[in-house]
Each structure stands twice: as structure tokens, then as C-alpha cells.
């Protein structure tokens, strides 16, 4: 089987593709996408991605708003 010799253009193309693929891998590894941190909840949620398993999400609480459970208990005790 006669294999053709690689010409200068062939080697340049192979090197160019290797550099492009290495650049894409570098960007994906060291600059993760920011849009995946919300996980479909609203802006009042903060989620942390776990190494194994599902992400853990915590809802942020505004200290100025009253607790819904406390207001319903107060309303039921006044009747």
C-alpha cells in the first residue's frame, strides 16, 4: 500500500486544527458558562453545583418582608 507523502499544506492544516481544538478545550475547561448556575429557578435562588449529584439551591430571604407562616398563624389566632 503506497501512502502519499504529507505536503507542507497538509502539515499546516493538521497543526492549525490541533491549535483550534486545544483552544476550545482550554476555554471550556477554564471558563465555565455562567448561565447554568440558576438551574431554572428565579433570581432569588442561589444554587451550587455539586461534584456528584444534583445541585443544592437555597432561596434568599429578604429581612424586610414578614414570614407568610407567621402572618397566617396570627390571623387565625385573632378570630
pLDDT at residue 17 is higher than 60: yes
Question: Can you tell me the mean pLDDT for 17-35?
Answer: 85
Full-model pTM: 0.42
Neighbours of 47 (CB within 10 A): 16
**Total Cβ atoms within 10 A of residue 30:** 7
The end-to-end CA distance of the chain, in Å, is 96
Q: Would you say 47 and 39 are in contact if contact means Cβ atoms under 8 Å apart?
A: yes
Residue 50 has pLDDT above 70, yes or no: yes
Question: Under DSSP, is residue 75 helix (H, G, I), strand (E, B) or coil?
Answer: helix
Amino acid at each position: 500500500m503506497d501512502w502519499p507523502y504529507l505536503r507542507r499544506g497538509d502539515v499546516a492544516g493538521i497543526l492549525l486544527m490541533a491549535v483550534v481544538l486545544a483552544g476550545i478545550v482550554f476555554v471550556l475547561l477554564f471558563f465555565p458558562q455562567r448561565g447554568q448556575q440558576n438551574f431554572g429557578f428565579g433570581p432569588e435562588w442561589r444554587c451550587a453545583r455539586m461534584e456528584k449529584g444534583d445541585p443544592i439551591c437555597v432561596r434568599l430571604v429578604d429581612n424586610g418582608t414578614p414570614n407568610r407562616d407567621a402572618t397566617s398563624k396570627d390571623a387565625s389566632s385573632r378570630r
